[in-house]
C-alpha cells in the first residue's frame, strides 16, 4: 500500500495533468468567427477556367486561385481575402474592393498591407502582369502573347467574383484601388466603367499621361530598363530590396502605341489618359481618393501628377480627396515619402477604414 505522501503526489500529478488537458482543450476551440474551414469552391465561367491544383489556401479567409483565359496569355493568379465572419454568416452579402498591384509585382504583394484583409469587405487581388498597365494592349503579337488586361479584369474577373461569392453587386458597394502602376489602373478602370465602381483610390500612381516622365516610366517597363526606374517595382514589401524587372522586352509601342505627340501618333495615350478632363468627367458619381509622397525620383513626379488630377477634378466639381504626405513624417514612422510599402501600408489602412465607412453608409 502506498504511503500517504506517495498517494498525495499521485493525486496532485493527476490533478495537474487533468487541468492542463482541460486548458488545452479550451484553447483548441477558437471563437466561432475563427473556426477553420475550407474556402469556398468557385465555379468556372465568364471565360475563366480554373487550373486544377492551382489553388493555394493560406487560411480559410485567404486563398489564391489560378485561372486561364483567352484574353491574357498564360495562367494567372487571383488572391481573395474574405472577412472572418464570411462563413459564419451565410445570409450576409459583402462589399468588394479590387486591389491592383504595382509594376514588377504579384498578387502576393497585397500581404504587405494588412488593411487589405478587412472584416468589412471582400478584397480581390487579380494578377496585373509585370507590366500589364491594366490596359488592352495595342499589340497582341508580342513575345508575351495576348494582353487584354482590362477585358480580363472588368468583363471576366468582376462578374466571376459576383457569381461565386456573396457580394453586394452594385457600384455603391464596389471599389477599385491600386498603387504605382496599379494606381494608374484603378483610376482608369473607374473612368472606363463608372457603372461598376462607385469608389476609386490611387496611391503613387502615374495618373497623368500628359507628363513625359510618366510615359517614360511605361516605356521603361516595356523595354525592361530596371536601372533608374527600378523603384517602380518596389510594389513588393518594403525592405526586400527586390527588383525583378518587368519580364521580356516588347516593342516600345506595344501597350499604348507611339508615345510621341507627332501627327496624333499618341492618340491612344490621350484617349486613356486618367488625367484627361473628358475621362475625369465620367467620375461625377464616384468617390476619388489620391495618395502620394513627394520624395525620391518616382514620387516627385507622382505628386505632380496627383496635383494635376486634383486641380482638374476640382474644376469639374468632383468629389476628390488628395493626401500628399510629403516626406511621410505625418503619415507613419515607417514612411519616408517614397515609392514603397512603408508608405503604402499606412495609406491603405487609412483608405480601407474610410472605404468601409462609405460602404456602411450605402446600405
Per-residue pLDDT at 41: 95
d(CA 311, CA 208) in angstroms, rounded, equals 12
Give phi and psi for 6, each to the nearest 5. -65, -40
C-alpha cell belonging to residue 83? 472577412
Q: Is the overall model pTM greater than 0.85, yes or no? A: yes
C-alpha cell belonging to residue 43? 465555379
Q: Angle at CA 180, nearest 5°, toward 83 and 172?
A: 45
d(CA 241, CA 243) in angstroms, rounded, equals 7
Low-confidence ranges of the chain (pLDDT < 50): 1-35, 228-229, 231-234, 237-241
Greatest extent of the chain over all pairs of C-alpha atoms, in Å: 107
Per-residue pLDDT at 46: 98
Question: Can you tell me which residue has the cell 504583394?
Answer: 109
Per-residue pLDDT at 37: 74
**CATH fold of 40-362:** Rossmann fold (3.40.50)
The answer to whether 203 and 297 are in contact (CB under 8 A) is no
What is the DSSP code string of 187-241?
Answer: HHHHHH-TTT-SEEEEES----TTSHHHHHHHHHHHTT--TGGGGGG--SPTT--
CB neighbours of 149 closer than 8 A, spacing ≥ 6? 71, 72, 128, 129, 132, 133, 134, 135, 136, 137
Domain extents for the chain?
1-30, 40-362
Per-residue pLDDT at 225: 84
Per-residue pLDDT at 36: 56
Per-residue pLDDT at 24: 34
Report the DSSP pairing between strands 320-326 and 174-179. unpaired
CB neighbours of 344 closer than 8 A, spacing ≥ 6? 112, 113, 179, 203, 204, 291
d(CA 324, CA 337) in angstroms, rounded, equals 9
C-alpha distances (whole Å) from 203 to each of 18, 71, 163, 187, 207 are: 55, 27, 29, 10, 10
d(CA 229, CA 232) in angstroms, rounded, equals 6
Whole-angstrom Cα Rg for the chain = 24
Amino acid at each position: 500500500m502506498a504511503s500517504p505522501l506517495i498517494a498525495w503526489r499521485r493525486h496532485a500529478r493527476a490533478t495537474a495533468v487533468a487541468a492542463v488537458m482541460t486548458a488545452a482543450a479550451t484553447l483548441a476551440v477558437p471563437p466561432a468567427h475563427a473556426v477553420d474551414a475550407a474556402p469556398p469552391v468557385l465555379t468556372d465561367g465568364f471565360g475563366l477556367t480554373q487550373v486544377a491544383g492551382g489553388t493555394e489556401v493560406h487560411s480559410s479567409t485567404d486563398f489564391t486561385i489560378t485561372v486561364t483565359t483567352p484574353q491574357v496569355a498564360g495562367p494567372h493568379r487571383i488572391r481573395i481575402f474574405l472577412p472572418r465572419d464570411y462563413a459564419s454568416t451565410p445570409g450576409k452579402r459583402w462589399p468588394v474592393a479590387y486591389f491592383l498591384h504595382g509594376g514588377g509585382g504579384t498578387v502576393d504583394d497585397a500581404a504587405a498591407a494588412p488593411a487589405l484583409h478587412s472584416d468589412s469587405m471582400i478584397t480581390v487581388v487579380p494578377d496585373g502582369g509585370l507590366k500589364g498597365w491594366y490596359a488592352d494592349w495595342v499589340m497582341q503579337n508580342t513575345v508575351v502573347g495576348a494582353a487584354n488586361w482590362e477585358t480580363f479584369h472588368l468583363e471576366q474577373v468582376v462578374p466571376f467574383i459576383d457569381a461565386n461569392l456573396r457580394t453586394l453587386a452594385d457600384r455603391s458597394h464596389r471599389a477599385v484601388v491600386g498603387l504605382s502602376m496599379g494606381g494608374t489602373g484603378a483610376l482608369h478602370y473607374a473612368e472606363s466603367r463608372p457603372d461598376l465602381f462607385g469608389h476609386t483610390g490611387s496611391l503613387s500612381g502615374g495618373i497623368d499621361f500628359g507628363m513625359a516622365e510618366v510615359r517614360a516610366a511605361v516605356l521603361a517597363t516595356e523595354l525592361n530598363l530596371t536601372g533608374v526606374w527600378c523603384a517602380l517595382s518596389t510594389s513588393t514589401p518594403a525592405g526586400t530590396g527586390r527588383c525583378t524587372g518587368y519580364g521580356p522586352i516588347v516593342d516600345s509601342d506595344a501597350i499604348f502605341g507611339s508615345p510621341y505627340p507627332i501627327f496624333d501618333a499618341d492618340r491612344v495615350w490621350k484617349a486613356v489618359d486618367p488625367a484627361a478632363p473628358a475621362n475625369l468627367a465620367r467620375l461625377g458619381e464616384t468617390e476619388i481618393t489620391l495618395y502620394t509622397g513627394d520624395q525620391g525620383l518616382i514620387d516627385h513626379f507622382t505628386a505632380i501628377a496627383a496635383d494635376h488630377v486634383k486641380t482638374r477634378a476640382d474644376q469639374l466639381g468632383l468629389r476628390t480627396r488628395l493626401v500628399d504626405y510629403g516626406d511621410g513624417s505625418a503619415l507613419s514612422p515607417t514612411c519616408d515619402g517614397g515609392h514603397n510599402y512603408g508608405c503604402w501600408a499606412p495609406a491603405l489602412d487609412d483608405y480601407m477604414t474610410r472605404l468601409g465607412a462609405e460602404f456602411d453608409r450605402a446600405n
